[in-house]
């Protein structure tokens, strides 16, 4: 057998496998070389690209200008009309030469801002490397590495933004600056240029502003504080934020010790000093007038700081604000008029906010507020809000989440907090029992407010106020009456209340619309977004209850704030001292620390706080307590003059219903609910009650009286009339609709219905009744209630035509004429037999015509006291009846007339 030879394909496959096994593998050295070359190429490309980009950016950098380097660049501030109202820059700055700067002051600045300043050439690459690593780790812009040189350049020529172009230009100009000026000259520029706080520029100016001293007189702790201000000028202001300022000062002292500028003992000794111990008071602090509207400008500067633009003013920005100069001037005029204040020392803070937009229109930072004050009672103050918290935390959430009516029944009674034995009391130490939510709010009762918070739950209430810009870490039951953990400023309170007047839409209070940077093109929008904080029914129903706070109802707490002609809603508030505080500080029983009023129209929302600078200097009189109301009235009246102010409009989601107060669940008032129990209240549509209260039955319906019937021969009719005392509607005091059912019963026969009428008389055809004796009955009917009948007797008797034809006419005898005699004491008229029941009876008459007349006598006085008299017969011919009146009122002995009741007593 011969051996099989491999095919062509198999031969090629075997050859390829052999070549594969014998091919040499690339060495590790070659791989390393390839990777290295790739990295170098990438770095080279990046370097070339970066260098090209740097050169491009550097070529467009501005030229160095010595004036701009040495002086702060002024920033401009415009009101809402676009008019300039303030310029802040080099005004009132104290310029200090380098040789006059104390060594410790230099060391404090260098240790904090640029410890290698005298070693680098404008850029600190060692520090830059650390910043780059931080930026890779935490994101671009997480950490900066700006030297003093770079800060001078940035504040002189460039805008405050973290962009590559600005950083490249900053680096280039820093190298240029280092070549042109000495280190000492550059440090001097920095020292006099930097924004220190608000409108204070330069360390020399800051020394006078904060301490009333020259630089050479500052202590180590004071120098450290000033050195730390530059990073966040307003946040580290010791006048406003002493805790933050102390922490920052201690950080600077630690850096000075770390870099060998001071000893450990010096550091520890300086840290022990109270950060506010050496601060100048208002009397000695230098005044810095940057604006005629200092209080408002302070708020603007704080808002810049809050939004990360605190140092942007040093770069020459234009700030477009929400300031209404008319409103601001009104506020300042009122705040600066001592006659508006009950004591010399009492203070107030005022914020005016646009109800719809949340824009701050005006700020009253305090009485005779000046730029030197540093403390703005409208913006910086955060105190317990007292009862102004009730609509925000209690009733608003209850309506929103539980769909409460404004007539919700709440019981004002002694009770304790859930977690303590402390009894909740009211300001007057009294309790009102079952009342509506509306009255509980406008009368500012504490117990119902706590019950409302308990019903809705703390979590939902906390969520509700969160949508109104109130950030509360903890909410306690005592916060229901504004005495817990939550604190507020007048600015925040004005904005929160504005949401009720804006159909439930909330906007954060803001004083800036936009800022424009130095290039005139780059802008930053400051307008916050609005959010729906509550349903429109909640906003309106709370507003309607708060209308009563300033209304004229008994027990309303805010009547002094009312402005006639304006649709205003508002709430009062006071806070309290603890019992321990009363004992410790020997305070009068009437003492309170804070008084508030927050109110709004459809145009403006205003919140006002009043109190004293020191917490334990108490408010003790009602004039002091009502100060916020009086200020509100003056301000709201003047800013609303000649301005159309629409009324609050009820949304379709809200309906009205008249309920019986005190019912639980709520029931509609009946026609017989007393007026003092009737309340017209608001309901979320679909939740209004359907059942009518049966608590009060209909009072007995008075019977008709003075019923009479007369036969009219010519008109062929019987005319029936009567009197009746109508039942009154308890709500309107108007007569209730009444109908009368009239019937006649023939003696020995059946009752015949004569008809129904709403008037007090009825005419029927004489043909409807046969001859005979009848009892006429009149029954009053109101809804389903019927009165007892009022009655009168009546006779119909006559002859036929045939009989009349044959009969001779009678010739009447000449009557005997007798002299009249005086009536006896019972009102009888002698021989005529006429009975005058209390002077209102009808005389019996001799009618010789065959026609029966039945007239009730008696007293027709209102109230059902009429008594029928008996008619006398004076020779009445047979067939004619003037007989007895069987009306509903029994006869009584007539009495002498009396004068009308004057309302001071009751009548029988």
Q: Which residues are catalytic?
A: 113, 387
Contact assessment for residue 385 and residue 488, using Cβ atoms and an 8 Å cutoff? yes
C-alpha triplet 316, 317, 321: angle, nearest 5°: 140
Count of helix runs (H) and strand runs (E) in the chain: 25, 29
Alpha helices in 531-598 (DSSP H): 536-549, 579-585
Beta strands 75-78 and 318-321 are parallel
Peptide bond into 624 cis (omega under 30): no
Residue count of the chain: 908
- b/e 463-488 (16+ beta carbons within 10 angstroms → b): ebbebbbbebeebbbbbbbbbbebeb
How far out from the chain centre does Cα 795 lie? 75
Give the residue among 621, 571, 559 at the shortest CA–CA distance from 449: 571
Question: CA-CA distances (angstroms) from residue 607 to 118, 490, 515, 640, 727?
Answer: 53, 5, 27, 16, 49
Euclidean distance between CA atoms 500 and 712, whole angstroms: 70
Helix (H) or strand (E) holding 186, with range, is helix 183-193
Give the residue among 330, 349, 357, 321 at the shortest CA–CA distance from 639: 330
Contact assessment for residue 272 and residue 235, using Cβ atoms and an 8 Å cutoff? no
Contact assessment for residue 123 and residue 204, using Cβ atoms and an 8 Å cutoff? no
Question: CA-CA distances (angstroms) from residue 654 to 111, 662, 684, 742?
Answer: 65, 21, 5, 45
Give the residue among 263, 246, 226 at the shortest CA–CA distance from 109: 226
Contact assessment for residue 744 and residue 776, using Cβ atoms and an 8 Å cutoff? yes
Helix (H) or strand (E) holding 632, with range, is helix 627-639
- b/e 837-874 (16+ beta carbons within 10 angstroms → b): bbebbbbbbeeeebbbbbbbbbbbbeebbbbbbbbbbb
Question: CA-CA distances (angstroms) from residue 361 to 76, 299, 324, 531?
Answer: 18, 11, 5, 20
Euclidean distance between CA atoms 338 and 334, whole angstroms: 8
* 481: DSSP letter: G
Contact assessment for residue 296 and residue 323, using Cβ atoms and an 8 Å cutoff? yes
For 55, phi then psi, to 5°, come to: -65, -40
Helix (H) or strand (E) holding 683, with range, is strand 678-684
Contact assessment for residue 351 and residue 260, using Cβ atoms and an 8 Å cutoff? no
Give the residue among 559, 537, 563, 535 at the shortest CA–CA distance from 549: 559
Euclidean distance between CA atoms 225 and 279, whole angstroms: 11
Euclidean distance between CA atoms 378 and 355, whole angstroms: 17
Euclidean distance between CA atoms 661 and 696, whole angstroms: 12
How far out from the chain centre does Cα 115 lie? 53
Contact assessment for residue 105 and residue 226, using Cβ atoms and an 8 Å cutoff? yes
Residues 370, 375, 380, 384: is their CA dihedral positive or negative?
negative
């Amino acid at each position: 057998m011969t051996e099989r030879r491999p095919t062509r394909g198999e031969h090629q496959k075997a050859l390829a496998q052999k070549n594969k096994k014998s091919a040499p593998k690339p060495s590790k050295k070659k791989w390393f070389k390839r990777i290295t070359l790739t990295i170098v190429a990438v770095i080279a490309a990046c370097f070339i690209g970066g260098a090209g980009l740097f050169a491009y950016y550097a070529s467009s950098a501005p030229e160095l200008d010595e004036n701009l380097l040495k002086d702060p660049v002024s920033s401009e501030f415009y009101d809402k009309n676009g008019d300039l109202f303030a310029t802040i820059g080099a005004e009132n700055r104290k310029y200090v030469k380098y040789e006059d700067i104390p060594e410790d002051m230099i060391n404090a600045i260098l240790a904090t801002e640029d410890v290698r300043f005298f070693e680098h050439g404008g850029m600190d690459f060692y520090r830059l490397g650390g910043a780059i690593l931080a930026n890779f780790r935490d994101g671009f812009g997480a950490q900066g590495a700006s030297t003093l040189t770079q800060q001078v350049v940035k504040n002189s020529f460039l805008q405050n933004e973290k962009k590559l172009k600005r950083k490249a230009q900053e680096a280039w100009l820093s190298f240029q600056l280092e070549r042109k000026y000495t280190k000492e000259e550059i440090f001097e520029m920095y020292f006099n240029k930097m924004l220190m706080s608000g409108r204070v520029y330069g360390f020399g100016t800051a020394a006078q502003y904060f301490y009333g001293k020259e630089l050479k007189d500052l202590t180590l702790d004071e120098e450290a504080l000033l050195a730390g201000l530059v990073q966040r000028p307003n946040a580290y202001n010791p006048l406003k934020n002493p805790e933050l300022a102390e922490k920052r000062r201690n950080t600077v002292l630690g850096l000075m010790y770390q870099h060998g500028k001071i000893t450990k003992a010096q550091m520890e000794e300086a840290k022990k000093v109270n950060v506010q111990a050496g601060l100048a008071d208002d009397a000695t602090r230098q005044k810095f007038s940057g604006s005629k509207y200092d209080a408002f400008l302070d708020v603007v500067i704080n808002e810049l700081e809050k939004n990360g633009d605190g140092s942007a003013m040093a770069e020459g920005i234009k700030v477009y604000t929400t300031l209404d100069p008319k409103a601001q001037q009104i506020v300042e005029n009122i705040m600066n008029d001592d006659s508006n204040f009950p004591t010399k020392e009492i203070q107030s803070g005022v914020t005016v906010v646009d109800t719809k937009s949340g824009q701050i229109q005006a700020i009253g930072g305090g009485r005779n507020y000046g730029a030197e004050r540093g403390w703005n009672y409208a913006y910086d103050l955060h105190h317990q809000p007292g009862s102004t918290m009730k609509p925000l935390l209690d009733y608003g959430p209850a309506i929103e989440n539980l769909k409460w009516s404004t007539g919700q029944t709440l019981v004002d009674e002694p009770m304790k907090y859930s977690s303590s034995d402390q009894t909740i009391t009211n300001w007057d130490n009294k309790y009102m029992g079952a009342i509506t939510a509306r009255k509980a709010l406008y009368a500012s009762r504490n117990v119902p407010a706590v019950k409302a918070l308990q019903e809705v739950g703390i979590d939902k209430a906390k969520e509700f106020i969160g949508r109104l810009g109130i950030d509360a870490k903890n909410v306690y039951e005592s916060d229901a009456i504004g005495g817990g953990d939550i604190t507020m400023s007048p600015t925040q309170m004005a904005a929160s209340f504005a949401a009720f007047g804006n159909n439930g839409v909330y906007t954060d209070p803001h004083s800036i619309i936009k800022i424009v940077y130095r290039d005139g093109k780059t802008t930053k929008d400051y307008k916050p977004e609005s959010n729906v904080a509550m349903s429109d029914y909640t906003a309106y129903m709370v507003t309607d209850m708060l209308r009563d706070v300033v209304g004229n109802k008994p027990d309303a707490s805010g009547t002094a704030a009312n402005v006639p002609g304006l649709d205003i809603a508002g709430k009062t508030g006071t806070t309290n001292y603890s019992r321990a505080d009363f004992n410790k500080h020997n305070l009068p029983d009437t003492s309170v620390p804070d008084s508030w009023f927050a109110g709004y129209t459809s145009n403006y929302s205003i919140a006002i706080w009043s109190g004293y600078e020191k917490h334990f200097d108490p408010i003790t009189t009602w004039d002091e307590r009502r100060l916020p109301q009086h200020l509100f009235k003056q301000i709201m009246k003047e800013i609303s003059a000649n301005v159309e102010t629409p009324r609050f409009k009820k949304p379709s989601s809200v309906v009205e219903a008249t309920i019986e107060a005190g019912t639980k669940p709520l029931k509609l008032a009946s026609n017989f609910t007393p007026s003092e129990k009737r309340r017209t209240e608001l309901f979320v549509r679909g939740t209004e009650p359907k059942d009518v209260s049966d608590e009060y039955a209909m009072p007995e319906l008075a019977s008709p009286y003075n019923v009479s019937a007369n036969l009219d021969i010519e008109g062929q009719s019987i005319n029936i009339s009567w009197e009746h005392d109508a039942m009154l509607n308890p709500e309107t005091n108007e007569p209730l609709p009444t109908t009368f059912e009239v019937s006649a019963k023939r003696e020995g026969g059946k009752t015949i219905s004569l008809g129904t009428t709403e008037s007090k008389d009825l005419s029927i055809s004489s043909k409807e009744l046969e001859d005979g004796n009848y009892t006429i009955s009149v029954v009053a009917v109101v809804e389903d209630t019927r009165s007892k009948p009022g009655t009168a007797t009546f006779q119909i008797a006559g002859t036929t035509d045939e009989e009349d034809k044959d009969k001779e006419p009678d010739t009447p005898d000449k009557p005997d004429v007798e002299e009249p005699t005086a009536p006896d004491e019972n009102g009888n008229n002698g021989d005529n037999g006429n009975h005058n029941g209390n002077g209102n009876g009808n005389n019996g008459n001799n009618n010789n015509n065959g026609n029966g007349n039945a007239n009730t006598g008696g007293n027709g006085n209102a109230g059902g006291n009429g008594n029928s008299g008996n008619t006398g017969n004076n020779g009445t011919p047979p067939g004619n009846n003037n007989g007895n009146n069987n009306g509903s009122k029994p006869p009584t002995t007539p009495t002498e007339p009396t004068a009308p009741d004057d309302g001071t007593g009751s009548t029988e």
